[in-house]
Amino acid sequence: MPKTVVLVATLDTKGAEARYFKEQIEKHGVHTLVVDGGILGQPQWEAQVSREEVARLGGSTLSQVQALHHEGKAMEVMIKGAARVVQQLHRAGDLDGIISLGGSMGTSLGTGAMRALPFGVPKLMVSTMASRDTRPYVGTKDIAMLYSVADIAGLNRMTRRVLANAAGAIVGMVQAGPQQAEDSGKPFDRAQDKPLIAISNLGTTEGCARRARSLLEERGYETIVFHTVGAGGRALEECVQEGLVDGVLDISIHEVVDVLFDGDYDAGQDRLEAAGRMGIPQVVAPGSIDFIACGDPAKLPDRYKDRKMHVHNPAICCVRANAEELRATGRVVAEKLNQAQGPVAVVIPRLGFSSFDQEGGVFWEPEADAAFAPILKASLKTEIEVIEVEAHINDPPFAETVVEVLDRLMQSSIQGERWIT
């Protein structure tokens, strides 16, 4: 059965380009289904999903959208509608991959639809915006961005080549296809697959993460690591919320500190909450809470200029978190974990929270670190286990402890309801 690629385009402004794109995909034997999100002039040809239908699913009508006379507000409706279209197609088994093309508005439309689809569905955006900051478009999704070099305005030797290359790329993605159920972003077969453990990590907790990953895999778990620089934490939370993860080992939670104190690695207000909402086992360690990640050291806020500082690279520096900030972090972590609907435990290293925070390190301040544990323990519900380990977070005994605790929680969960062994 032929694969189907959904092409999201604006057929009023990119009609010729979209038609050529469609032809290039179909010459490889892959079917295309076109969704029209245009709002300006008349479409140059008819799509399988009309712009009227997209507007309807966006909660409006095309005439109402056009009457807004505001591209941004109009596009919000069309993005919402396009997202619902592709979700419906995916649920029906009529979408094996998605592709789009455009400038700033077309990229907003195309990637807005792509972000509504689960991990593992091939997603490719051909865009004039791909050489810029793509975070607003990609978010936390596995979206591939291809820079068009020239504006996608007419067909010429450059745009034809770029679109032909993109067609080959999306065809390759969908034809390669997942060989195993877990690669497709669909729910696992609980009777057959290994439990998947999400691990949060930053370079400052790499020793712990590496050792814990090895130990967990020896015990029969599969692991996935998230780089907690803001987007990584958001991706972790979303994967948990989507039901892709069975347990969480959160050993790098400094994103909570950055939310509280305006750091650059801000993963949002709901960081550290999804596992609790989903009721899956989680073990939390205060990895890297000893610093706040900032940007360009030359632009460091005045309030931090008297702090100990580590320049990671020309774009990122870190400042030492003080005792007051660590107490505030302890209270917030406790508030989040107190909401958990499943098993949770906290494991605290007594000899430092990061590779910077060890004896002789730039952020070694045992007195400041000591402010965290008492407020956390006083604020947590009594049924949440807290274990303190006389070790640094990157010492092997600490990794062994967090793995032992998580395995215990997972085994209780397995025997209770989630897994058949």
CATH classification (class only), 187-418: alpha beta
* Range(s) of the chain covered by CATH 3.40.50.12020: 4-176
Q: What is the average per-residue pLDDT within 292-312?
A: 88
- Measured in degrees and rounded to the nearest 5, phi and psi for residue 4 equal -120, 125
Distance CA 81, CA 113 (A): 8
What is the average pLDDT value for the chain, to the nearest integer?
92
CATH number of the 4-176 domain: 3.40.50.12020
Q: Report whether pLDDT(180) > 50.
A: no
pLDDT in tens, 100-142: 999 999 999 999 999 999 989 999 999 999 999 898 999 989 9
Q: Which helix H or strand E contains 315, and what residues bound it?
A: none
| Per-residue confidence (pLDDT) for residue 419, from 0 to 100 | 38
- 83 close to 113: Cβ distance less than 8 angstroms: yes
- 413 close to 281: Cβ distance less than 8 angstroms: yes
pLDDT in tens, 32-78: 999 999 998 899 999 999 999 999 999 999 999 999 988 889 999 99
- Measured in degrees and rounded to the nearest 5, phi and psi for residue 387 equal -120, 130
DSSP assignment letter at 183? G
Q: Report whether pLDDT(420) > 80.
A: no
Q: What is the average per-residue pLDDT within 282-309?
A: 91
pLDDT in tens, 216-231: 999 999 999 999 999 9
Q: Cα 17 to the chain's mean position, in Å?
A: 31
| Per-residue confidence (pLDDT) for residue 178, from 0 to 100 | 58
| Per-residue confidence (pLDDT) for residue 305, from 0 to 100 | 83
Closest CA to 108 of 88, 90, 134: 134
* Range(s) of the chain covered by CATH 3.40.50.12030: 187-418
Confidence of residue 192 (pLDDT cuts 50, 70, 90): low
Q: Report whether pLDDT(189) > 60.
A: no
pLDDT in tens, 88-104: 999 999 999 999 999 99
- 393 close to 352: Cβ distance less than 8 angstroms: yes
| Per-residue confidence (pLDDT) for residue 59, from 0 to 100 | 96
Q: Which residue has the higher pLDDT, 189 or 294?
A: 294
Q: Report whether pLDDT(183) > 60.
A: no
- Measured in degrees and rounded to the nearest 5, phi and psi for residue 167 equal -60, -45
